[in-house]
Structure 1
Amino acid sequence: MENILEVKNLHVSFDTHGGEVTAVRGVSFDLKKGETLAIVGESGSGKSVTTRAIARLIPSPPGRIKEGEILFNGKDLAKLKEKQMQQIRGKDISTIFQDPMTSLNPTMKIGKQIMEGLMKHQKMDRSLAKKKAIELLDLVGLPDAKERVDQYPHQFSGGQRQRVVIAIALACNPQILIADEPTTALDVTIQAQILELMKDIQRKTESSIIFITHDLGVVANVADRVAVMYAGKIVEIGTVDEIFYNPKHPYTWGLLGSMPTLDNEEESLVAIPGSPPDMLQPPKGDAFAPRNEYALEIDNELDPPMFKVSDTHYAATWLLHEYAPKVEPPAAVKKRMKGFGNTGASPISKKGDD
């Protein structure tokens, strides 16, 4: 399957009063047509900055893309002028943000907000754009779309507003949809509805999705592949099965171990000790070493390269070096890995399961 997006050695920094914050450090990945790639990690790991760089939404100043390529259908977005990006942003690449209330203009009717992109990018007249806006509201499951198209954001619930934001993002049939924690602010019932809606829309439109989240349960339900980020770098990437059933990086073990399960047995969650590093002063060697109980001496000196586990699975840990000691995931993590394959005990259902 062909790549619709290729990110190569992306570096993003922010200039602050305290100095340069290196938010993204050499990130590389690709995205295929019709694929969902989930990017996971703790707050501050660089997930949102990476995707905002792709859409060229990094405010400059203080932010800047220092290095790297963002190839969208072979065109390097990092080198385009803002006017050129305006023809791509919203039309070919759309973003769904975390908080729908801050994404919507409270003084404009929602129909008009959907119509803006249609009139600009699709060159529709007002009447046709309004008809399309109603169709989009129907598509995202908003009842009474004909009446509600003329209402304001404050007249909708949180889940309904998120559906409106999705309708705006889908208006111009984008090739890539960036979903930046789109369900975090919603309760679990509405969250499940929104996730199901996004999967259904993807099946209908064949769009590619980059899904940012810290919730691994969500990942298992929506993703084809998973990229795990820490301290501005991708430390492990693979298919959803490889990340859940055969994780190789200690940080990924920590994320999986911190997942609650629905088992009846009493068990404590595995906490990752310490805190992420200060990116004003990026650490020497492996950034995760101070929090990694399996760290080797070399972790304090050299940043590990990406070691190949399979054709689709790579991890940046010295534990995969041929001379490294053999280390197994903690028992609690192994138990969760085993539980993922048992639908009776699993806290999640795998993508495609009912």
Structure 2
Amino acid sequence: MCRVEKIIEINNLHINFYTQSGIVKAVRGVNFFVNQGETLALVGESGSGKSVTAQAIMKLLPTPPSKIEQGQIILDGEDIVPKTDRQMEKIRGNTVSMIFQDPMTSLNPTMRIGRQISELIIKNEKVSKREAKVKAIELLKMVGIPKAEERYVQYPHQFSGGMRQRVMIAIALAAKPKLLIADEPTTALDVTIQAQILELMKELKEKLNTSIIFITHDLGVVANMADRVAVMYAGQIVEVGTVDEIFYDPRHPYTWGLLASMPSLDSSAEEELHAIPGSPPDLTHPPKGDAFARRSKYAMEIDFEEEPPLYQVSETHFVKSWLLHPDAPKVIPPKMILDRKRDFPGNFPEPVLVKEDR
């Protein structure tokens, strides 16, 4: 049996921001990993800590005001938390690259597209300008830019939003990274272009065997994109599992809320979409117990007193909720969750307590 290589493993990551209003505990004990050639979707509302976690992996967080208080970010077998900016320059691009939400703020408006790609290739591969140009044009073709030779000499403003995002993907892939982080890469695009970009990323992952961390607030976007999904709330991972486990056998009330608020193509016009009541907590003063308790109709007394442990539902499915305790009352999930379970041919195992967080 071949051993699966972990491209990145994050262990007990804590990140604080020191502000005039107080210490914001933005990431609180996050644990997850991504295997070689795998796509992990990191989902949750704005302010849940997704982008902060991603920027920590790239070591792009400004220090101050941010500080990694504790934890490990083991990237390609090496902990990068202690590394300096100069040391990270050799890692960014080569081992890990990032696609940002808005390509216009990431591309240099005064520099031709081709040059922006070629300079990265020259820096990382030590090739001539002519060789770099050939490779840059190949990358533009790979990401679906028509007439790549002509587009090579154009400026960002001459590209549409979707084409600019394709250019950003080409730039991110220029150094052939092992891990690609996509931070809300389709939010600014219309639905048709969004679908094209998602399909492109799937194709490139299969072709290049690149691992991807895909960050989004929209569970619907990742249904056909990810291998596994990690649901993040108030700076913590509250549920993680395969796509099928998260979509058809979710166990955390927050995941139920995200799924229940997601419209589907087969929904009737009369079918009501659910909204999660309230708003995320102020992380300058994280709530005692389960951070989601104040927004959950399933909350019990213990939720307001003690932080829930991690429960294992299957080999790949983990949930941080007191509802999985053997003595917890049996609750009925929203109807649409039950409907999903009914239509899914899988089995639904009982959870067991995990003594140590993964």
Tell me which interval the TM-score lies in, with the shorter structure as reference length. over 0.9
Q: For residue 249 of structure 2, what is the aligned residue in structure 1? A: 246
Instruction: Give deviations 1:53-72, integer Å, cap 9, x for gaps.
Output: 01111111111111100011
Aligned counterparts, 1:223-242, within 5 A: 223-242=226-245
Q: For residue 63 of structure 1, what is the aligned residue in structure 2? A: 66
Give 1:340 deviation, angstroms: 7.3
- Name the CA distance, whole Å, in 1 between partners of 2:68 and 2:341: 37
Residue 328 of structure 1 pairs with residue 332 of structure 2: yes
Do the aligned residues in 1 keep the contact of 2:99 with 2:169 (CA within 8 Å)?
yes
Q: With structure 1 as the length reference, what TM-score do the two structures score?
A: 0.94
Residue 292 of structure 1 pairs with residue 296 of structure 2: yes
The runs of 5 or more residues in structure 1 that have no matched partner are: 342-354
Q: For residue 167 of structure 1, what is the aligned residue in structure 2? A: 170
- Name the CA distance, whole Å, in 2 between partners of 1:3 and 1:262: 35
Find the partner of 1:280 among 278, 284, 295: 284
Give 1:123 deviation, angstroms: 1.1
Aligned counterparts, 1:184-195, within 5 A: 184-195=187-198
Instruction: Give deviations 1:82-141, integer Å, cap 9, x for gaps.
Output: 111110001110000000100100010011111121111111221111111100000000
Instruction: Give deviations 1:143-168, integer Å, cap 9, x for gaps.
Output: 01001101100000000000000000
SS at match of 1:26: strand
Do the aligned residues in 2 keep the contact of 1:251 with 1:288 (CA within 8 Å)?
yes
Do the aligned residues in 2 keep the contact of 1:257 with 1:336 (CA within 8 Å)?
no
Give 1:332 deviation, angstroms: 3.2
Residue 16 of structure 1 pairs with residue 15 of structure 2: no
Residue 211 of structure 1 pairs with residue 219 of structure 2: no
Q: For residue 177 of structure 1, what is the aligned residue in structure 2? A: 180
Aligned counterparts, 1:1-354, within 5 A: 1-263=4-266, 265=268, 266-336=270-340, 338=342
Calculate percent identity across the aligned residue pairs: 65
Give 1:264 deviation, angstroms: 5.1
How many correspondences in the alignment?
A: 341
The AA in structure 1 aligned to 2:264 is T
Q: Cα RMSD between the aligned structures?
A: 1.2
The runs of 5 or more residues in structure 2 that have no matched partner are: 346-358
Runs (4+) of structure 1 exceeding 6 A deviation are none
SS at match of 1:229: strand
- Name the CA distance, whole Å, in 2 between partners of 1:309 and 1:44: 27
Give 1:217 deviation, angstroms: 1.4
SS at match of 1:9: strand
Q: CA separation of 1:288/1:101 partners in 2, compared to 1, >3 Å: closer, same or farther? A: same
Give 1:334 deviation, angstroms: 2.3
Do the aligned residues in 1 keep the contact of 2:93 with 2:176 (CA within 8 Å)?
no
Give 1:337 deviation, angstroms: 5.0
- Name the CA distance, whole Å, in 2 between partners of 1:133 and 1:51: 26
- Name the CA distance, whole Å, in 2 between partners of 1:338 and 1:198: 31
- Name the CA distance, whole Å, in 1 between partners of 2:154 and 2:50: 34
Q: CA separation of 1:47/1:340 partners in 2, compared to 1, >3 Å: closer, same or farther? A: farther
Give 1:196 deviation, angstroms: 0.7
Give 1:172 deviation, angstroms: 0.7
